[in-house]
Structure 1
Protein backbone atom coordinates (compact mmCIF):
# COMPACT_ATOMS: atom_id res chain seq x y z
CA UNK A 1 0.00 0.00 0.00
CA UNK A 2 1.47 3.33 -1.08
CA UNK A 3 2.19 5.95 1.55
CA UNK A 4 0.22 9.18 1.45
CA UNK A 5 2.37 11.94 -0.01
CA UNK A 6 3.26 14.84 2.26
CA UNK A 7 2.13 18.30 1.22
CA UNK A 8 4.08 21.42 2.18
CA UNK A 9 1.98 23.74 4.35
CA UNK A 10 4.31 26.74 4.31
CA UNK A 11 5.18 26.20 8.01
CA UNK A 12 8.53 24.57 8.87
CA UNK A 13 8.07 21.13 10.42
CA UNK A 14 4.36 20.94 9.62
CA UNK A 15 3.11 18.77 6.75
CA UNK A 16 -0.30 17.77 5.46
CA UNK A 17 -0.67 14.01 5.00
CA UNK A 18 -4.05 13.04 3.55
CA UNK A 19 -6.65 13.88 6.20
CA UNK A 20 -4.14 14.51 8.97
CA UNK A 21 -1.25 16.78 9.90
CA UNK A 22 2.33 15.62 10.63
CA UNK A 23 4.44 17.68 13.07
CA UNK A 24 8.19 17.00 13.39
CA UNK A 25 11.24 18.71 14.87
CA UNK A 26 14.78 17.98 16.04
CA UNK A 27 16.21 18.59 19.51
CA UNK A 28 19.72 17.57 20.56
CA UNK A 29 20.02 15.07 17.70
CA UNK A 30 16.69 13.43 18.52
CA UNK A 31 13.84 13.53 16.02
CA UNK A 32 10.30 14.03 17.31
CA UNK A 33 7.42 13.21 14.97
CA UNK A 34 3.68 13.30 15.69
CA UNK A 35 0.58 12.75 13.60
CA UNK A 36 -2.40 14.93 14.52
CA UNK A 37 -5.81 13.61 13.52
CA UNK A 38 -6.93 16.98 12.23
CA UNK A 39 -8.09 18.07 8.81
CA UNK A 40 -5.24 20.08 7.23
CA UNK A 41 -7.24 23.32 7.15
CA UNK A 42 -5.51 26.67 7.43
CA UNK A 43 -6.52 27.14 11.09
CA UNK A 44 -5.53 23.59 12.04
CA UNK A 45 -2.13 23.99 10.38
CA UNK A 46 -1.56 27.22 12.34
CA UNK A 47 -2.57 25.37 15.52
CA UNK A 48 -0.05 22.60 14.73
CA UNK A 49 2.67 25.19 14.17
CA UNK A 50 1.97 26.80 17.56
CA UNK A 51 2.10 23.37 19.25
CA UNK A 52 5.46 22.70 17.62
CA UNK A 53 6.91 26.03 18.76
CA UNK A 54 5.64 25.57 22.32
CA UNK A 55 7.06 22.01 22.47
CA UNK A 56 10.50 23.27 21.41
CA UNK A 57 10.43 25.95 24.11
CA UNK A 58 9.50 23.36 26.73
CA UNK A 59 12.32 21.07 25.59
CA UNK A 60 14.86 23.88 25.92
CA UNK A 61 13.53 24.72 29.40
CA UNK A 62 13.56 21.09 30.48
CA UNK A 63 9.82 21.04 31.21
CA UNK A 64 8.67 19.06 28.20
CA UNK A 65 5.89 16.55 28.82
CA UNK A 66 4.69 14.89 25.65
CA UNK A 67 1.16 14.29 26.96
CA UNK A 68 0.63 18.03 27.47
CA UNK A 69 1.22 18.82 23.79
CA UNK A 70 0.39 15.64 21.89
CA UNK A 71 -1.92 13.55 24.07
CA UNK A 72 -3.13 11.34 21.20
CA UNK A 73 0.21 10.68 19.55
CA UNK A 74 3.58 9.38 20.68
CA UNK A 75 7.05 10.10 19.44
CA UNK A 76 9.29 7.08 18.93
CA UNK A 77 12.37 9.17 19.75
CA UNK A 78 10.98 10.57 22.97
CA UNK A 79 9.94 7.10 24.17
CA UNK A 80 13.24 5.39 23.32
CA UNK A 81 14.82 3.55 26.26
CA UNK A 82 17.24 5.69 28.19
CA UNK A 83 15.90 9.08 27.23
CA UNK A 84 13.64 9.85 30.17
CA UNK A 85 15.02 10.15 33.69
CA UNK A 86 12.60 7.51 34.98
CA UNK A 87 13.49 5.05 32.19
CA UNK A 88 17.20 5.44 32.80
CA UNK A 89 16.76 5.04 36.53
CA UNK A 90 14.91 1.75 36.06
CA UNK A 91 17.79 0.51 33.91
CA UNK A 92 20.35 1.64 36.49
CA UNK A 93 18.76 -0.03 39.55
CA UNK A 94 19.46 -3.69 38.67
CA UNK A 95 22.98 -2.80 37.52
CA UNK A 96 23.71 -1.21 40.89
CA UNK A 97 21.96 -3.93 42.88
CA UNK A 98 24.56 -6.60 42.09
CA UNK A 99 27.17 -4.73 44.19
CA UNK A 100 25.07 -4.10 47.32
CA UNK A 101 23.07 -6.11 49.84
CA UNK A 102 19.27 -6.44 49.51
CA UNK A 103 18.81 -4.17 52.54
CA UNK A 104 21.03 -1.49 51.03
CA UNK A 105 19.28 -1.93 47.69
CA UNK A 106 15.94 -1.13 49.32
CA UNK A 107 17.34 2.09 50.80
CA UNK A 108 18.97 3.03 47.48
CA UNK A 109 15.77 2.51 45.51
CA UNK A 110 13.78 4.62 47.98
CA UNK A 111 16.29 7.45 47.60
CA UNK A 112 16.32 7.19 43.80
CA UNK A 113 12.52 7.12 43.55
CA UNK A 114 12.17 10.24 45.70
CA UNK A 115 14.80 12.13 43.69
CA UNK A 116 13.31 11.10 40.35
CA UNK A 117 9.80 12.09 41.44
CA UNK A 118 11.01 15.43 42.82
CA UNK A 119 13.04 16.19 39.70
CA UNK A 120 10.44 14.91 37.24
CA UNK A 121 10.58 11.40 35.85
CA UNK A 122 9.27 12.39 32.39
CA UNK A 123 12.05 14.87 31.80
CA UNK A 124 14.73 14.11 29.22
CA UNK A 125 18.01 13.47 30.99
CA UNK A 126 20.07 15.28 28.37
CA UNK A 127 17.95 18.42 28.84
CA UNK A 128 18.79 18.70 32.55
CA UNK A 129 20.90 21.63 33.66
CA UNK A 130 23.00 22.16 36.78
CA UNK A 131 20.23 24.50 37.90
CA UNK A 132 17.81 21.56 37.95
CA UNK A 133 20.06 19.62 40.33
CA UNK A 134 20.45 22.69 42.52
CA UNK A 135 16.67 23.04 42.61
CA UNK A 136 16.42 19.37 43.59
CA UNK A 137 18.67 20.06 46.59
CA UNK A 138 16.44 22.97 47.63
CA UNK A 139 13.27 20.89 47.36
CA UNK A 140 14.74 17.96 49.30
CA UNK A 141 16.14 19.96 52.21
CA UNK A 142 12.88 21.87 52.69
CA UNK A 143 11.19 18.97 54.50
CA UNK A 144 13.99 16.56 55.44
CA UNK A 145 16.91 16.21 57.81
CA UNK A 146 20.41 16.96 56.54
CA UNK A 147 21.56 13.35 56.99
CA UNK A 148 18.58 12.06 54.97
CA UNK A 149 19.09 14.55 52.14
CA UNK A 150 22.81 13.79 51.98
CA UNK A 151 22.00 10.08 51.61
CA UNK A 152 19.57 10.88 48.79
CA UNK A 153 22.07 13.14 47.02
CA UNK A 154 24.91 10.65 47.35
CA UNK A 155 22.72 7.92 45.86
CA UNK A 156 21.38 10.11 43.05
CA UNK A 157 24.85 11.39 42.17
CA UNK A 158 25.90 7.77 41.58
CA UNK A 159 23.03 7.45 39.10
CA UNK A 160 24.00 10.69 37.34
CA UNK A 161 27.66 9.67 37.09
CA UNK A 162 26.46 6.43 35.50
CA UNK A 163 24.45 8.48 32.99
CA UNK A 164 27.55 10.54 32.22
CA UNK A 165 29.75 7.49 31.70
CA UNK A 166 27.22 6.17 29.19
CA UNK A 167 27.01 9.53 27.38
CA UNK A 168 23.37 10.19 28.31
CA UNK A 169 24.27 13.57 29.84
CA UNK A 170 27.26 15.64 30.86
CA UNK A 171 28.60 16.80 34.23
CA UNK A 172 25.51 16.65 36.42
CA UNK A 173 26.67 14.33 39.20
CA UNK A 174 29.15 16.84 40.61
CA UNK A 175 26.29 19.25 41.34
CA UNK A 176 24.75 16.87 43.92
CA UNK A 177 26.68 18.72 46.61
CA UNK A 178 26.01 17.40 50.10
CA UNK A 179 24.97 19.76 52.88
CA UNK A 180 27.35 20.47 55.74
CA UNK A 181 26.26 18.49 58.78
CA UNK A 182 27.27 19.60 62.23
CA UNK A 183 29.13 16.93 64.17
CA UNK A 184 27.52 16.33 67.52
CA UNK A 185 29.92 15.72 70.36
CA UNK A 186 29.80 12.24 71.88
CA UNK A 187 27.82 11.99 75.11
CA UNK A 188 29.66 9.28 77.07
CA UNK A 189 28.57 7.89 80.39
CA UNK A 190 30.23 9.27 83.49
CA UNK A 191 31.63 6.50 85.66
CA UNK A 192 29.03 7.32 88.33
CA UNK A 193 26.29 6.93 85.73
CA UNK A 194 27.74 3.60 84.64
CA UNK A 195 27.67 2.38 88.23
CA UNK A 196 24.05 3.54 88.63
CA UNK A 197 23.17 1.73 85.43
CA UNK A 198 24.76 -1.50 86.64
CA UNK A 199 23.48 -1.34 90.23
CA UNK A 200 20.01 0.16 89.76
CA UNK A 201 19.11 -0.24 86.09
CA UNK A 202 20.17 -3.84 85.55
CA UNK A 203 18.12 -6.28 87.62
CA UNK A 204 19.27 -9.39 85.77
CA UNK A 205 22.89 -10.68 85.71
CA UNK A 206 22.77 -11.00 81.92
CA UNK A 207 21.86 -7.30 81.57
CA UNK A 208 24.73 -6.29 83.86
CA UNK A 209 27.15 -8.40 81.87
CA UNK A 210 25.88 -7.14 78.50
CA UNK A 211 26.16 -3.47 79.50
CA UNK A 212 29.62 -4.05 80.95
CA UNK A 213 30.82 -5.70 77.74
CA UNK A 214 29.32 -2.89 75.64
CA UNK A 215 31.07 -0.18 77.69
CA UNK A 216 34.45 -1.92 78.00
CA UNK A 217 34.76 -3.14 74.39
CA UNK A 218 33.18 -0.37 72.31
CA UNK A 219 31.34 -2.84 70.10
CA UNK A 220 28.66 -1.52 67.78
CA UNK A 221 25.15 -2.65 68.82
CA UNK A 222 24.88 -5.00 65.85
CA UNK A 223 28.25 -6.54 66.69
CA UNK A 224 27.33 -6.96 70.35
CA UNK A 225 24.05 -8.70 69.48
CA UNK A 226 25.83 -11.09 67.06
CA UNK A 227 28.71 -12.01 69.39
CA UNK A 228 28.91 -15.74 70.10
CA UNK A 229 30.54 -17.95 72.73
CA UNK A 230 32.83 -19.33 70.03
CA UNK A 231 34.22 -15.82 69.48
CA UNK A 232 35.60 -15.66 73.03
CA UNK A 233 39.12 -16.89 73.80
CA UNK A 234 39.29 -19.82 76.28
CA UNK A 235 41.11 -17.65 78.82
CA UNK A 236 38.62 -14.77 78.31
CA UNK A 237 41.47 -12.43 77.37
CA UNK A 238 40.07 -11.44 74.00
CA UNK A 239 37.16 -11.72 71.59
CA UNK A 240 37.08 -11.86 67.80
CA UNK A 241 34.43 -9.73 66.13
CA UNK A 242 33.36 -11.80 63.13
CA UNK A 243 29.80 -10.72 62.37
CA UNK A 244 27.03 -8.21 62.92
CA UNK A 245 23.24 -8.45 62.78
CA UNK A 246 20.93 -6.09 60.91
CA UNK A 247 17.42 -4.90 61.63
CA UNK A 248 16.01 -7.57 59.32
CA UNK A 249 17.74 -10.35 61.34
CA UNK A 250 20.39 -10.80 58.66
CA UNK A 251 23.92 -11.67 59.75
CA UNK A 252 26.74 -10.02 57.86
CA UNK A 253 30.45 -9.29 58.25
CA UNK A 254 31.44 -6.24 60.35
CA UNK A 255 31.29 -2.74 58.90
CA UNK A 256 34.93 -2.76 57.75
CA UNK A 257 34.42 -6.20 56.07
CA UNK A 258 37.24 -7.58 58.23
CA UNK A 259 37.44 -9.49 61.49
CA UNK A 260 39.15 -7.78 64.43
CA UNK A 261 40.42 -8.83 67.81
CA UNK A 262 39.38 -6.87 70.89
CA UNK A 263 41.41 -7.34 74.05
CA UNK A 264 39.28 -7.53 77.18
CA UNK A 265 39.86 -5.42 80.27
CA UNK A 266 39.18 -7.10 83.67
CA UNK A 267 35.50 -5.96 84.00
CA UNK A 268 34.75 -7.24 80.50
CA UNK A 269 36.45 -10.57 81.24
CA UNK A 270 34.26 -11.20 84.27
CA UNK A 271 31.14 -10.14 82.38
CA UNK A 272 32.05 -12.39 79.47
CA UNK A 273 32.21 -15.41 81.81
CA UNK A 274 28.57 -14.77 82.78
CA UNK A 275 27.43 -14.47 79.14
CA UNK A 276 29.33 -17.53 77.98
CA UNK A 277 27.96 -19.65 80.84
CA UNK A 278 24.42 -18.66 79.83
CA UNK A 279 25.08 -19.31 76.12
CA UNK A 280 26.42 -22.79 76.85
CA UNK A 281 22.95 -23.80 78.06
CA UNK A 282 21.67 -23.36 74.49
CA UNK A 283 22.32 -25.44 71.40
CA UNK A 284 24.53 -24.05 68.67
CA UNK A 285 22.75 -22.86 65.54
CA UNK A 286 23.83 -22.49 61.92
CA UNK A 287 23.98 -18.78 61.07
CA UNK A 288 24.21 -17.69 57.46
CA UNK A 289 26.67 -14.80 57.45
CA UNK A 290 26.66 -12.78 54.22
CA UNK A 291 30.10 -11.74 52.98
CA UNK A 292 28.53 -9.80 50.11
CA UNK A 293 25.36 -10.07 48.04
CA UNK A 294 26.46 -13.30 46.35
CA UNK A 295 28.63 -15.11 48.92
CA UNK A 296 27.99 -16.34 52.44
CA UNK A 297 29.40 -18.65 55.07
CA UNK A 298 27.85 -20.78 57.81
CA UNK A 299 28.84 -20.14 61.45
CA UNK A 300 27.86 -22.94 63.86
CA UNK A 301 27.74 -20.91 67.09
CA UNK A 302 25.82 -20.00 70.24
CA UNK A 303 24.98 -16.29 70.28
CA UNK A 304 25.65 -14.73 73.71
CA UNK A 305 22.57 -12.51 74.00
CA UNK A 306 19.19 -14.17 73.55
CA UNK A 307 15.77 -12.60 74.17
CA UNK A 308 14.65 -16.01 75.44
CA UNK A 309 16.84 -15.76 78.56
CA UNK A 310 14.45 -13.30 80.24
CA UNK A 311 11.37 -13.86 78.09
CA UNK A 312 7.95 -13.64 79.68
CA UNK A 313 6.14 -14.54 76.47
CA UNK A 314 5.90 -18.01 75.03
CA UNK A 315 7.04 -16.93 71.59
CA UNK A 316 10.00 -14.55 71.24
CA UNK A 317 12.70 -13.93 68.67
CA UNK A 318 15.86 -16.00 68.71
CA UNK A 319 18.18 -12.98 68.46
CA UNK A 320 18.39 -9.35 69.46
CA UNK A 321 18.46 -6.84 66.61
CA UNK A 322 19.79 -3.29 67.13
CA UNK A 323 16.33 -1.78 67.66
CA UNK A 324 15.43 -4.41 70.28
CA UNK A 325 18.69 -3.74 72.09
CA UNK A 326 17.96 -0.01 71.95
CA UNK A 327 14.57 -0.63 73.57
CA UNK A 328 16.12 -2.71 76.35
CA UNK A 329 18.83 -0.06 76.84
CA UNK A 330 16.19 2.67 77.18
CA UNK A 331 14.42 0.69 79.91
CA UNK A 332 17.68 0.16 81.81
CA UNK A 333 18.54 3.86 81.62
CA UNK A 334 15.11 4.93 82.88
CA UNK A 335 15.29 2.50 85.78
CA UNK A 336 18.77 3.77 86.69
CA UNK A 337 17.52 7.37 86.76
CA UNK A 338 20.33 8.75 84.58
CA UNK A 339 20.08 11.06 81.60
CA UNK A 340 18.76 9.33 78.50
CA UNK A 341 21.19 8.46 75.72
CA UNK A 342 21.10 6.17 72.68
CA UNK A 343 22.65 2.73 73.15
CA UNK A 344 25.39 3.67 70.67
CA UNK A 345 26.85 5.96 73.34
CA UNK A 346 28.41 2.91 74.99
CA UNK A 347 30.81 2.85 72.05
CA UNK A 348 31.59 6.54 72.59
CA UNK A 349 32.03 5.82 76.29
CA UNK A 350 34.71 3.22 75.53
CA UNK A 351 36.59 5.66 73.29
CA UNK A 352 36.37 8.61 75.68
CA UNK A 353 37.38 6.61 78.75
CA UNK A 354 40.39 5.15 76.95
CA UNK A 355 41.46 8.53 75.59
CA UNK A 356 41.08 10.19 78.98
CA UNK A 357 43.33 7.46 80.39
CA UNK A 358 45.90 8.51 77.77
CA UNK A 359 45.64 5.32 75.73
CA UNK A 360 47.56 4.98 72.48
CA UNK A 361 45.48 6.37 69.59
CA UNK A 362 46.44 3.67 67.11
CA UNK A 363 45.62 0.92 69.62
CA UNK A 364 42.20 2.40 70.46
CA UNK A 365 41.35 2.86 66.77
CA UNK A 366 42.29 -0.76 66.09
CA UNK A 367 40.13 -2.00 68.98
CA UNK A 368 37.15 -0.04 67.66
CA UNK A 369 37.57 -1.24 64.09
CA UNK A 370 38.62 2.07 62.52
CA UNK A 371 40.98 2.17 59.54
CA UNK A 372 43.22 4.67 61.34
CA UNK A 373 43.07 7.09 64.25
CA UNK A 374 41.97 10.13 62.21
CA UNK A 375 38.36 9.40 63.22
CA UNK A 376 39.36 9.52 66.89
CA UNK A 377 41.01 12.91 66.46
CA UNK A 378 38.02 14.30 64.56
CA UNK A 379 35.23 12.97 66.79
CA UNK A 380 36.87 12.76 70.21
CA UNK A 381 39.28 15.68 69.98
CA UNK A 382 38.35 17.28 73.29
CA UNK A 383 38.99 14.01 75.15
CA UNK A 384 42.54 13.88 73.83
CA UNK A 385 44.87 15.66 76.26
CA UNK A 386 47.18 17.76 74.09
CA UNK A 387 48.55 20.08 76.78
CA UNK A 388 49.53 17.72 79.58
CA UNK A 389 52.64 18.64 81.56
CA UNK A 390 53.12 14.92 82.22
CA UNK A 391 53.34 14.30 78.49
CA UNK A 392 55.97 17.02 78.17
CA UNK A 393 57.97 15.45 80.97
CA UNK A 394 57.73 12.02 79.34
CA UNK A 395 58.94 13.38 76.00
CA UNK A 396 61.80 15.29 77.63
CA UNK A 397 62.90 12.19 79.54
CA UNK A 398 62.94 10.24 76.30
CA UNK A 399 64.98 12.93 74.55
CA UNK A 400 67.53 12.93 77.35
CA UNK A 401 67.88 9.16 77.16
CA UNK A 402 68.32 9.45 73.41
CA UNK A 403 71.03 12.10 73.91
CA UNK A 404 72.90 9.77 76.24
CA UNK A 405 72.58 6.72 74.00
CA UNK A 406 73.51 8.40 70.69
CA UNK A 407 77.21 9.14 71.52
CA UNK A 408 77.67 5.54 72.71
CA UNK A 409 76.20 4.19 69.48
CA UNK A 410 78.40 6.56 67.47
CA UNK A 411 81.52 5.41 69.32
CA UNK A 412 80.55 1.75 68.81
CA UNK A 413 80.23 2.30 65.07
CA UNK A 414 83.67 3.89 64.93
CA UNK A 415 85.27 1.02 66.85
CA UNK A 416 83.64 -1.57 64.60
CA UNK A 417 84.80 0.23 61.45
CA UNK A 418 88.40 0.42 62.76
CA UNK A 419 88.42 -3.26 63.66
CA UNK A 420 87.34 -4.15 60.14
Structure 2
Protein backbone atom coordinates (compact mmCIF):
# COMPACT_ATOMS: atom_id res chain seq x y z
CA UNK A 1 0.00 0.00 0.00
CA UNK A 2 2.93 2.31 0.72
CA UNK A 3 4.18 2.02 -2.86
CA UNK A 4 0.70 2.74 -4.26
CA UNK A 5 0.44 5.93 -2.22
CA UNK A 6 4.03 6.90 -3.07
CA UNK A 7 3.39 6.58 -6.82
CA UNK A 8 0.11 8.49 -6.59
CA UNK A 9 1.82 11.28 -4.63
CA UNK A 10 4.08 11.98 -7.62
CA UNK A 11 1.08 12.78 -9.82
CA UNK A 12 -1.64 15.39 -10.02
CA UNK A 13 -4.70 16.23 -12.07
CA UNK A 14 -5.73 13.85 -14.81
CA UNK A 15 -2.59 11.73 -14.43
CA UNK A 16 -3.25 11.12 -10.74
CA UNK A 17 -6.91 10.33 -11.42
CA UNK A 18 -5.99 7.81 -14.11
CA UNK A 19 -3.42 5.96 -12.00
CA UNK A 20 -5.54 6.08 -8.84
CA UNK A 21 -8.48 4.66 -10.76
CA UNK A 22 -6.24 1.97 -12.26
CA UNK A 23 -5.04 0.84 -8.83
CA UNK A 24 -8.55 0.75 -7.36
CA UNK A 25 -10.62 -0.60 -10.27
CA UNK A 26 -8.57 -3.50 -11.62
CA UNK A 27 -9.20 -2.47 -15.22
CA UNK A 28 -6.87 -3.41 -18.02
CA UNK A 29 -5.13 -0.42 -19.62
CA UNK A 30 -7.12 -0.95 -22.83
CA UNK A 31 -10.32 -0.72 -20.77
CA UNK A 32 -9.14 2.39 -18.90
CA UNK A 33 -8.46 4.39 -22.04
CA UNK A 34 -11.76 3.29 -23.63
CA UNK A 35 -13.88 4.20 -20.61
CA UNK A 36 -16.74 6.58 -21.44
CA UNK A 37 -18.78 8.70 -19.06
CA UNK A 38 -21.91 6.95 -20.32
CA UNK A 39 -20.47 3.70 -18.87
CA UNK A 40 -20.33 5.14 -15.37
CA UNK A 41 -23.13 5.21 -12.80
CA UNK A 42 -21.75 7.37 -9.98
CA UNK A 43 -25.01 7.28 -8.01
CA UNK A 44 -24.94 3.48 -7.75
CA UNK A 45 -21.12 3.31 -7.65
CA UNK A 46 -20.83 1.10 -10.72
CA UNK A 47 -18.89 1.05 -13.98
CA UNK A 48 -19.99 -0.95 -17.00
CA UNK A 49 -17.07 -2.35 -18.96
CA UNK A 50 -18.08 -2.84 -22.59
CA UNK A 51 -15.23 -1.56 -24.78
CA UNK A 52 -11.47 -1.51 -25.11
CA UNK A 53 -9.05 0.44 -27.24
CA UNK A 54 -6.34 -1.68 -28.84
CA UNK A 55 -3.94 -0.23 -31.43
CA UNK A 56 -6.00 2.97 -31.49
CA UNK A 57 -9.20 1.10 -32.39
CA UNK A 58 -12.26 0.70 -30.24
CA UNK A 59 -13.37 -2.90 -29.83
CA UNK A 60 -15.56 -4.95 -27.56
CA UNK A 61 -13.83 -6.76 -24.73
CA UNK A 62 -11.76 -9.80 -25.64
CA UNK A 63 -14.09 -12.25 -23.90
CA UNK A 64 -17.72 -12.34 -22.81
CA UNK A 65 -16.64 -12.33 -19.15
CA UNK A 66 -14.67 -9.15 -19.88
CA UNK A 67 -18.00 -7.38 -20.37
CA UNK A 68 -18.92 -6.77 -16.79
CA UNK A 69 -20.17 -4.43 -14.13
CA UNK A 70 -17.66 -3.46 -11.49
CA UNK A 71 -18.44 -2.04 -8.09
CA UNK A 72 -16.48 1.11 -7.39
CA UNK A 73 -14.12 1.02 -4.45
CA UNK A 74 -14.01 4.34 -2.53
CA UNK A 75 -10.65 5.42 -4.02
CA UNK A 76 -11.83 4.61 -7.55
CA UNK A 77 -15.00 6.63 -6.99
CA UNK A 78 -12.94 9.54 -5.66
CA UNK A 79 -10.74 9.47 -8.79
CA UNK A 80 -13.80 9.57 -11.07
CA UNK A 81 -15.41 12.41 -9.15
CA UNK A 82 -12.18 14.39 -9.41
CA UNK A 83 -11.87 13.58 -13.12
CA UNK A 84 -15.44 14.68 -13.80
CA UNK A 85 -14.51 18.19 -12.64
CA UNK A 86 -11.63 18.26 -15.15
CA UNK A 87 -13.44 17.10 -18.30
CA UNK A 88 -17.21 16.88 -17.86
CA UNK A 89 -17.96 17.58 -21.54
CA UNK A 90 -15.86 14.78 -23.01
CA UNK A 91 -17.08 11.36 -24.12
CA UNK A 92 -13.99 9.60 -22.77
CA UNK A 93 -13.18 9.75 -19.07
CA UNK A 94 -9.40 9.95 -19.17
CA UNK A 95 -7.39 12.34 -21.34
CA UNK A 96 -3.76 12.95 -22.10
CA UNK A 97 -3.13 16.29 -20.36
CA UNK A 98 -0.50 17.22 -22.96
CA UNK A 99 -3.04 17.11 -25.79
CA UNK A 100 -6.34 17.22 -23.89
CA UNK A 101 -7.45 14.39 -26.17
CA UNK A 102 -8.30 10.82 -25.22
CA UNK A 103 -5.33 8.51 -24.76
CA UNK A 104 -4.24 6.72 -27.93
CA UNK A 105 -2.53 3.82 -26.20
CA UNK A 106 -0.82 2.50 -23.13
CA UNK A 107 2.71 3.18 -24.41
CA UNK A 108 2.22 6.94 -23.95
CA UNK A 109 0.92 6.45 -20.41
CA UNK A 110 3.88 4.24 -19.57
CA UNK A 111 6.44 6.66 -21.03
CA UNK A 112 5.08 10.01 -19.83
CA UNK A 113 3.33 9.19 -16.56
CA UNK A 114 4.12 5.76 -15.18
CA UNK A 115 7.91 5.55 -15.50
CA UNK A 116 8.59 9.09 -14.21
CA UNK A 117 6.23 8.55 -11.24
CA UNK A 118 7.93 5.26 -10.29
CA UNK A 119 11.39 6.79 -10.60
CA UNK A 120 10.52 9.86 -8.53
CA UNK A 121 8.82 7.68 -5.89
CA UNK A 122 11.87 5.40 -5.76
CA UNK A 123 9.76 2.37 -6.69
CA UNK A 124 11.32 -0.42 -8.74
CA UNK A 125 9.98 -0.59 -12.30
CA UNK A 126 7.05 -2.80 -13.13
CA UNK A 127 4.62 -2.29 -16.01
CA UNK A 128 1.34 -0.40 -15.56
CA UNK A 129 -0.61 -3.65 -15.91
CA UNK A 130 0.64 -4.43 -12.39
CA UNK A 131 -2.05 -2.07 -11.07
CA UNK A 132 -4.49 -4.94 -11.80
CA UNK A 133 -2.41 -7.30 -9.70
CA UNK A 134 -2.26 -4.76 -6.90
CA UNK A 135 -6.05 -4.41 -7.01
CA UNK A 136 -6.58 -8.16 -6.80
CA UNK A 137 -4.05 -8.75 -4.03
CA UNK A 138 -5.44 -5.88 -1.94
CA UNK A 139 -8.99 -7.22 -2.15
CA UNK A 140 -7.97 -10.82 -1.48
CA UNK A 141 -5.82 -9.69 1.48
CA UNK A 142 -8.95 -8.04 2.89
CA UNK A 143 -10.78 -11.37 2.68
CA UNK A 144 -13.02 -10.55 -0.27
CA UNK A 145 -14.69 -13.49 -1.97
CA UNK A 146 -12.37 -14.79 -4.74
CA UNK A 147 -15.31 -15.39 -7.10
CA UNK A 148 -16.37 -11.75 -6.70
CA UNK A 149 -12.79 -10.53 -7.26
CA UNK A 150 -12.54 -12.67 -10.41
CA UNK A 151 -15.79 -11.18 -11.70
CA UNK A 152 -14.58 -7.65 -10.98
CA UNK A 153 -11.44 -8.34 -13.00
CA UNK A 154 -13.28 -9.91 -15.93
CA UNK A 155 -12.19 -13.52 -15.40
CA UNK A 156 -14.52 -16.37 -16.34
CA UNK A 157 -13.91 -18.14 -13.04
CA UNK A 158 -11.53 -17.92 -10.12
CA UNK A 159 -8.95 -20.37 -11.53
CA UNK A 160 -6.64 -17.53 -12.57
CA UNK A 161 -6.88 -16.03 -9.10
CA UNK A 162 -5.92 -19.35 -7.51
CA UNK A 163 -2.85 -19.63 -9.72
CA UNK A 164 -1.64 -16.04 -9.61
CA UNK A 165 -2.89 -14.78 -6.25
CA UNK A 166 -3.20 -17.94 -4.17
CA UNK A 167 -0.86 -16.67 -1.49
CA UNK A 168 -3.31 -13.83 -0.69
CA UNK A 169 -6.35 -16.12 -0.38
CA UNK A 170 -6.88 -17.23 3.20
- Scaled by the length of structure 2, the TM-score of the pair is 0.91
Does residue 262 in structure 1 map to residue 70 in structure 2?
A: yes
Does residue 321 in structure 1 map to residue 105 in structure 2?
A: yes
Structure 1 residue runs of 4 or more that deviate by more than 2 Å after TM superposition: 276-279, 315-320
Residue 317 (structure 1) shift:
5.8
1:208 to 16, 20, 34: 16
Seen in structure 2, the aligned counterparts of structure 1 residues 192 and 316 have a Cα distance that, compared at 3 Å, is closer
Residue 319 (structure 1) shift:
2.6
2 CA distance for matches of 1:354 and 1:220? 16
Seen in structure 2, the aligned counterparts of structure 1 residues 234 and 318 have a Cα distance that, compared at 3 Å, is closer
- Structure 1 counterpart of 2:79: 271
1 CA distance for matches of 2:50 and 2:154? 11
CA RMSD between the two structures: 1.7
Q: Is the 8 A contact 1:236 1:272 kept in 2?
A: no
- Structure 2 counterpart of 1:30: none
- Structure 2 counterpart of 1:196: 6
Residue 196 (structure 1) shift:
0.9
Seen in structure 2, the aligned counterparts of structure 1 residues 277 and 242 have a Cα distance that, compared at 3 Å, is farther
Seen in structure 2, the aligned counterparts of structure 1 residues 249 and 335 have a Cα distance that, compared at 3 Å, is same
Residue 216 (structure 1) shift:
0.8
Does residue 249 in structure 1 map to residue 56 in structure 2?
A: yes
1 CA distance for matches of 2:118 and 2:89? 28
Residue 239 (structure 1) shift:
0.6
1:240 match: secondary structure: strand
1 CA distance for matches of 2:13 and 2:106? 20
Residue 263 (structure 1) shift:
0.3
1:380 match: secondary structure: helix
2 CA distance for matches of 1:303 and 1:227? 6
Instruction: Give ranges in structure 1 of 5+ residues lacking alignment.
Output: 1-190, 283-301, 386-420
1 CA distance for matches of 2:162 and 2:67? 23
Seen in structure 2, the aligned counterparts of structure 1 residues 384 and 272 have a Cα distance that, compared at 3 Å, is same
- Structure 2 counterpart of 1:240: 48
Q: How does 1:346-357 map to 2 (within 5 A)?
A: 346-357=131-142
Residue 243 (structure 1) shift:
0.6
2:41 match: secondary structure: coil
Q: How does 1:156-167 map to 2 (within 5 A)?
A: none
2 CA distance for matches of 1:256 and 1:266? 27
2 CA distance for matches of 1:223 and 1:207? 16
- Scaled by the length of structure 1, the TM-score of the pair is 0.38
Q: Is the 8 A contact 1:229 1:279 kept in 2?
A: no
1:337 to 105, 115, 122: 122
- Relative CO higher for 1 or 2, CA cutoff 8 Å, sep ≥ 6? 2
Count of equivalent residues: 168
2 CA distance for matches of 1:236 and 1:230? 13
Q: Is the 8 A contact 2:21 2:79 kept in 1?
A: yes
